[in-house]
Each structure stands twice: as C-alpha cells, then as structure tokens.
C-alpha cells in the first residue's frame, strides 16, 4: 500500500474507532460486536506499524478509550489503569514469548507466566486505608477516572473491611453474571425498558449511575486481578499477590494458572476456550502475564499498555447449517420476535439449534428464507447469529417469511407502528403478556394496589390463581395467605387494597390497562373528557385524533385497543367485579395553570414521576428541555446542563424546599 493510501485509510479508521469507542466506553451502547471493533483496531495498528511516521497522539492505539462522565468527581489514579495489547492467534502469542525470553536472558531471569480469564466487564480501582474501603474509581482514560465509591459499596463481593489493616490499591473487573444478566433483561422487558446489548454494557451502565439507589438494584459482582500499589508489603510474583488478595478477603479472579512455558500457557488458553460456556460469567479472552514482578519492572510499559502482558482474543467460529423453520415468540411486552429453527450444529463449544432473527427488517435485509443454508457465528460469549446466507445453494423450494397479522398466542391483531422495527400483539388478555399486564395494572401509576408487586403477581400466576387482570378481584383471603408463611396479615392488607382500588377514578383504570403511548396525563385527559368507560369505547378515531395532546398516533392506539373483543370482555368482567367506570368530579386546584416546569438533578423527597404528577394535578405542564417559555426549573442534587441553560436564559430556578412551599 502506498503512503497516500495508507494515510487516507488511517484517518478513516481513527474516525470510525473513535466513534465506536465512545459508543462502547462512554455511552455503554455499542453498535458493533467486540470482534468487529477489534478487527478495526488491529488494521489501524498494523498500518501504523508499517508507517510509523503517520502515528499521532489522538489515535486510539496511543491512549486508553473512555472519558469521565459529567456529574462524577474526577479521580487521578496513583498507578495508571492501562489496557492490554490484543493478539488473535497463537503465532502472535509465541512472538510475545520470544520478546520476553530475549529480555529475560539479559537479566538472567527464568520466565513463568500466569494465565487468567479476561472478564468481560468494567475496570475499577479500589483503595483501602488501614484495611477499610475508602474510595473506588472507574478506569476512565487510564489516568483519570470517575469516583464511584458509593456505587461500589452496593457490590456485595467488595469487602468494606479487609482481614488485615493494610493500605492497598487493587484493580478488578465489575461484571454481571450470565444468569443475572438474563434476569435483568427479562425485568426490563416487563417494564418496557430498552434491553441491554450485553452484560458488559449492563455492568458499565449500572456502575456509572449518578444515583447509587439504581446501582443497588443491579446484580453487580467483581473479580480482583491485580495489586496496583502496596508500599507496606513486598511481593516477588503476581501469582503470590493473587493468593494474598484472596487471603485478606477479596473475590479474586477464579481461573488463574501458573505456567512454566509458553506452550503450557497456550494449552491453558485452549482449555479456557473449550470450557467458557460452563463459566457463570462472560469472558472476552484470556490474559497472559509475566509472573516475576521484578522482571516486569525491567521490561517496562508503553504509555497505553504493559510490555509484559497480552490478551488473547478467541476468534469467532463460523459454521454452516440449515434454517428448518421460522417461528414467532411473544415476549412479555407483546413484542413478537421471529426465531430461526436450525439444523443443530456445534459452534464455539455449544450446540446451536435456534437463534433470534430480531425483527422483520433483519430478515428482509439478509434475505433469510425457510430452507436456506446459512452461516452462523458465535464469538466468545456473544449470542449466536446468522451472518450470511448461501444463496448459491438455493434449489427453489425455499419459502419467504412474513410476520403474522394475528398473535400466535391469543389471536389478537398485531401492529407495527411507524418508526418502529418491532411487531406487537395488542391483546390485553394474551397469556404471553399476562405478568407485565397484571403488574402494571396493580402498580402505583395504575390501580395502586399496595402489596401486589411483580414477585407476588408472578407467584399468583405460577400457582394458577390469576390468569388475567380481572382475576385479581376473585382472589380470596386463603389463596393469598397460602403464598407466605403466617401470611394472614399480609393477605388481609392485600384484600383491603384490592377492595379499595374498586373506588379509584376512571383515569387510574385507563392508565392501568397499559394502552400503548398512554401515560398518567393522557389517561386523565380521556377520563375528564368522556366521563365514563363506555363513551371512550364508542369514541371514533377521527374524534380522538382531534383532541389536544393526543393526535393520530395515540388516537390509533386507543381506538385499536378498545376495538378488540378481548378488551371489551375484560371491561365487562371488571364492571361485574364492581370496579368504578366513571370519572369522579373533584374540586380542581389550578394554581399551576399555564406554567411549565423542567426537572433536573435528583430530588430527595420525590421521584421525577411523582413531582410531575403533582405539577399536572395543579394544572401545570412538564417539559424535558429548557427554553424561554419555561416557567420554573426545579433543581435537585447534581443538576446538570439544564440548570446551566436556565441560568443563561434567566429562567427562575427553584429548590425542592421552595417547591414544597408552592404546593402547600
């Protein structure tokens, strides 16, 4: 390649890798796989190696990815948290050994290696004074990280006190286990929240929350793999430090093997690769480190990476197989996901017989048909996916696939709304969505049935006591009491809450039904305008779409929902159970009429939803952005850019205490 061509490609690669590094490190929302990113970085490294005069300081080959998130205190690392040089085949591993052996001979030192699993998570440094945990920080850019001490205190495997009163800084990887990650995404699906792309991004996003109460709800764990600094104790080998760290109370990286030769190390790497499916946590490779700490000092480091360690990345394994069928699964939010049923084939240590096809657009883009021969890939612990179709192997018997017009579970119509890739079932009584439907109906935003949370709903469903929303009102004291030991008091409280919910205003019922695009505000608007449920059921689309703050998208959602036989059947059951179907007239307090509030930062007494509900109750509106039309900015702790903009525009800023005075 000519130098001019190399320069052009290097500039392209720097721009591409910088974009994807930001999506990965800062936004915790990657758009490409780790392997694809690694290949781009590898191409960039090779070109810079070939043309060293084209290397610049802004290249990601010369610095650690990641920045400090706004809202966190900065922490300067006493010892930099470097990244590792990646290699992709065993010839590169042997080249690494050759370089190490040459230097070891100069110092007349024998070389041993420690091989560890490379945990797929987020790096953090933990600092202890006199054996007490005092501070924790993310890696950031390697030199400066984010102070996440309070968040790290919520991680159960991080000891708050060590078994020895020692001053020490250690480095570990914060992660979420495989099963815990699946459960976390299941819960997010039920709540209709965006799913995490993978466990690494779930862990990173959870650790970098500005509110530690959110972090506390996430199943974070940690493995410690290095002593960064310890002036009071001397060590001669890395393997020795790992054993010591375990002794004083740390959860140390579990797979660690001391090897006398590089071939032994390669055998360990192969074994880890063969067994990685059995691990309870995700890995994205194996790390090879020189064990002798004195030799490490002599070998040295570059600005970005140590010269005495490398990370072996497992190559993705690809196999051909056949698509025997395409079926559809209905998730707990009603999302219908096509699933390819494959001729079973072993890939990367596990037998693959099915894989998600994501959505209709994915199938059309790759032109996947029933009967096609396809290539599937599974890189490390990534979910297997179809990466190519062998069109040359088609014989004319292949069938094109179309998304179903009706739900395969309940028969209700399916919809794919403009701008969305997902096709959904909108059946309120669909058994596939019963857990989410019932839990939402009982939630504070819905019918506010205190005590009927997600766990209790799940137990009621598993025991066959509840199949749909109306079954809530058929529950007996004895049935609820059977869920808990000595559960009579709990059961009576729940029965009372269920009974009280029958008297709720119509707006609570509408919101509890979980109609797509409807929230508290629109539910109140509908209840106030139509006064009773039958009037809403009989409302025409054109009429609904003309209402202020509703428009055609929400109108279509309301019209389609109440047009279903399932919905009307449920309403009749709720009527028979004695649930109020009327709008309850109350004396209105419109003190905030014509006022627009913007909320920023963390409030002490209220969640944002609660504060918004209070504002709307008094006739006000909330907005997500600050403008000249904003009446007030309600600022809590750690308020960010919205506060700055309010100051620039001269918008009145109020504290939570001032807000309390306004609503007295």
Establish if 99 belongs to a structural domain: yes
Query: Does residue 5 have a pLDDT over 90?
Result: no
Of all residues in the chain, the percent with pLDDT exceeding 70 is 94
Of 260, 283, 312, which residue constitutes the final position of a domain?
A: 312
Most confident of 193-207, 344-358, 369-383, 541-555: 541-555
Same domain, 620 and 484: no
Establish if 252 belongs to a structural domain: yes
Query: Does residue 66 have a pLDDT over 60?
Result: no
List Cβ neighbours of 607 (8 Å cut-off, separation of 6 or more). Answer: none
- Quote the pLDDT of residue 9: 86
CATH number of the domain encompassing residue 557:
1.10.150.20
- Quote the pLDDT of residue 429: 84
DSSP 231-267: TTS--SBHHHHHHHHHHTT--B-S-EEEESSHHHHHH
Q: pLDDT tens, 139-164? A: 988 999 999 999 999 999 999 999 99
- Spatial contact of 111 and 100, defined as CB atoms under 8 Å apart: yes
Same domain, 552 and 619: no
Tokens 């025991």 map to which residue? 463
Diameter of the chain measured on Cα atoms:
90
Same domain, 479 and 601: no
**For the chain, what percentages of helix, strand and coil (3-state, to nearest 5) are there?**
40, 20, 40
Please list, residue by residue across 235-267, b when 16 or more beta carbons sit within 10 angstroms of its beta carbon and e when fewer do: eebbbebbebbeebbbbbbebbbbbeebeebbe
Q: How many CA atoms lie within 13 A of 476 on its CB side?
A: 3
Most confident of 183-192, 198-207, 416-425, 526-535: 526-535
Same domain, 334 and 389: yes
Establish if 587 belongs to a structural domain: no
Of residues 547 and 113, more confidence is placed in 113
Distance CA 256, CA 46 (A): 30
Of residues 342 and 18, more confidence is placed in 342
Distance CA 562, CA 557 (A): 9
**Span 296-321, mean pLDDT?**
91
CATH number of the domain encompassing residue 652:
3.40.50.10190
Tokens describing residue 121: 């998570």
Tokens describing residue 552: 């055609």
Q: How many CA atoms lie within 13 A of 270 on its CB side?
A: 9
Tokens 């051909």 map to which residue? 320
Query: Does residue 68 have a pLDDT over 60?
Result: no
Dihedral pair phi/psi, residue 128, rounded to 5°: -125, 135
What positions carry a catalytic annotation?
A: 118
- Quote the pLDDT of residue 348: 66
- Band of residue 473 on the pLDDT scale cut at 50, 70, 90: very high
Distance CA 212, CA 151 (A): 5
Query: What's the sign of the alpha-carbon dihedral 420, 424, 427, 432?
Result: negative
Q: pLDDT tens, 250-261? A: 999 999 999 999
Establish if 43 belongs to a structural domain: yes
List Cβ neighbours of 539 (8 Å cut-off, separation of 6 or more). Answer: 530, 558, 559, 562
Distance CA 190, CA 433 (A): 8
Q: pLDDT tens, 556-597? A: 999 999 999 999 999 999 999 999 999 986 656 778 988 999
- Quote the pLDDT of residue 69: 55
> Quick one: which H or E segment has residue 559?
helix 551-562
Q: What is the pTM of this model?
A: 0.61
Same domain, 478 and 567: yes
Establish if 419 belongs to a structural domain: no
Query: Does residue 34 have a pLDDT over 80?
Result: no
**Span 500-512, mean pLDDT?**
95
- Spatial contact of 65 and 20, defined as CB atoms under 8 Å apart: no
CATH number of the domain encompassing residue 328:
2.40.50.140
3-state secondary structure 183-229: HHHHHHHHCCCCCCCCHHHHHHHHHCCCCHHHHHCCCCEEEEEEEEE
What is the number of other CB atoms lying within 10 angstroms of the CB of residue 396? 5
- Quote the pLDDT of residue 380: 47
- Band of residue 7 on the pLDDT scale cut at 50, 70, 90: confident
Same domain, 250 and 156: yes
CATH number of the domain encompassing residue 82:
3.30.470.30
Same domain, 553 and 601: no
Establish if 412 belongs to a structural domain: no
**Span 12-26, mean pLDDT?**
77
Same domain, 643 and 514: no
Establish if 69 belongs to a structural domain: no
Same domain, 267 and 292: yes
Same domain, 87 and 122: yes
CATH number of the domain encompassing residue 50:
1.10.287.610
Same domain, 322 and 307: no
* Mean pLDDT score of the chain: 89
Number of independent structural domains in the chain: 5
Of 576, 608, 627, which residue constitutes the final position of a domain?
A: 576
- Quote the pLDDT of residue 487: 84
Q: pLDDT tens, 242-288? A: 999 999 999 999 999 999 999 999 999 999 988 887 889 988 899 99
Distance CA 515, CA 544 (A): 14
Which among 493, 519, 512 is positioned nearest to 581, based on CA atoms?
Answer: 512
Of 576, 611, 646, which residue constitutes the final position of a domain?
A: 576
Establish if 584 belongs to a structural domain: no
Range of the domain at 657: 596-663
Same domain, 260 and 347: no
**Span 82-95, mean pLDDT?**
94
């Amino acid at each position: 390649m000519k130098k001019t061509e190399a320069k052009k490609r290097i500039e392209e690669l720097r721009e591409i890798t910088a974009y994807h590094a930001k999506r990965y490190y800062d936004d915790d929302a990657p758009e490409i796989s780790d392997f694809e990113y690694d290949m781009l970085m590898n191409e960039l490294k090779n070109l810079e190696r070939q043309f060293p005069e084209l290397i610049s300081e802004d290249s990601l080959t010369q610095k650690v990815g990641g920045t400090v998130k706004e809202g966190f205190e900065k922490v300067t690392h006493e010892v930099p948290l470097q990244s590792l040089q990646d290699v992709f085949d065993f010839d590169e591993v042997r080249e690494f050994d050759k370089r190490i052996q040459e230097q070891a001979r100069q110092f007349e030192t024998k070389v041993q290696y420690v091989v560890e699993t490379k945990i797929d998570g987020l790096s953090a440094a933990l600092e202890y004074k006199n054996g007490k945990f005092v501070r924790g920080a993310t890696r950031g850019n390697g030199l400066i990280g984010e102070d996440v001490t309070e968040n790290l205190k919520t991680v159960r495997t991080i000891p708050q006190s060590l078994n020895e009163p020692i001053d020490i800084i250690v480095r570990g990887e914060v992660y979420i286990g495989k099963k815990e990650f699946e459960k976390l995404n299941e819960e997010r699906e039920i709540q209709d929240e965006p799913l995490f792309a993978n466990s690494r991004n779930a862990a990173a996003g959870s650790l970098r929350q500005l509110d530690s109460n959110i972090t506390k709800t996430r199943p974070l764990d940690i493995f410690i793999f290095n002593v960064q600094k310890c002036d009071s104790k001397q060590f001669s080998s890395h393997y020795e430090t790992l054993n010591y760290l375990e002794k004083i109370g740390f959860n140390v990286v579990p797979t660690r093997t001391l090897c006398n030769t590089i071939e032994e190390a390669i055998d360990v790497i192969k074994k880890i690769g063969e067994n990685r499916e059995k691990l309870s946590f995700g890995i994205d490779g194996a790390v090879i480190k020189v064990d002798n700490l004195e030799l490490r000092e002599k070998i040295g480091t570059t600005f970005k990476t140590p010269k005495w360690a490398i990370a072996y990345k497992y190559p993705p394994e690809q196999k051909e197989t056949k698509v025997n069928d395409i079926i559809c699964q209905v998730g707990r939010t009603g999302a219908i996901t096509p699933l390819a049923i494959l001729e079973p084939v072993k890939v990367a240590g596990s037998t693959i017989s099915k894989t998600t096809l994501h959505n209709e657009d994915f199938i059309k883009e790759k032109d996947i048909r029933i009967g096609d021969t396809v290539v599937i890939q599974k890189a490390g612990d990534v979910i297997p996916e179809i990466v190519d179709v062998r069109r040359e192997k088609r014989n004319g018997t292949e069938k094109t696939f179309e998304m179903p017009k009706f739900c395969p579970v309940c028969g209700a119509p399916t919809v794919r709304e403009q701008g969305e890739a997902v096709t959904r079932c909108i059946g309120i009584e669909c058994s596939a969505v019963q857990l989410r439907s019932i839990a939402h109906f009982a939630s504070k935003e819905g019918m506010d049935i205190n005590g009927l949370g997600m766990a209790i709903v799940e137990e009621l469903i598993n025991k066959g006591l509840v199949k749909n929303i109306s079954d809530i009102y058929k529950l007996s004291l004895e049935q609820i009491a059977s869920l808990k030991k000595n559960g009579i008091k709990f059961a009576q409280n729940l029965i009372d809450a269920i009974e009280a919910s029958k008297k709720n205003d119509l707006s609570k019922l509408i919101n509890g039904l979980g109609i797509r695009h409807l929230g508290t505000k629109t539910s109140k608007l509908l209840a106030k305008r139509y006064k009773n449920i039958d009037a809403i059921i009989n409302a025409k689309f054109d009429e609904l779409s003309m209402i202020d703050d509703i428009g055609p998208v929400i109108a279509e959602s309301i019209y389609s929902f109440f047009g279903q036989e399932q919905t009307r059947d449920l309403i009749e059951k709720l009527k028979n159970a004695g649930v109020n179907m009327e709008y309850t007239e109350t004396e209105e307090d419109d003190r905030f009429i014509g006022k627009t509030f913007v909320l920023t930062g963390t409030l002490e007494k209220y969640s944002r939803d609660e504060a918004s509900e209070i504002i709307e109750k008094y006739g006000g509106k909330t907005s997500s952005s600050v403008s000249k039309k904003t009446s007030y900015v309600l600022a809590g702790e750690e308020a960010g850019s919205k506060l700055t903009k309010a100051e620039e525009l001269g918008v009145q800023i109020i504290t939570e205490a001032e807000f309390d005075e306004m609503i007295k």
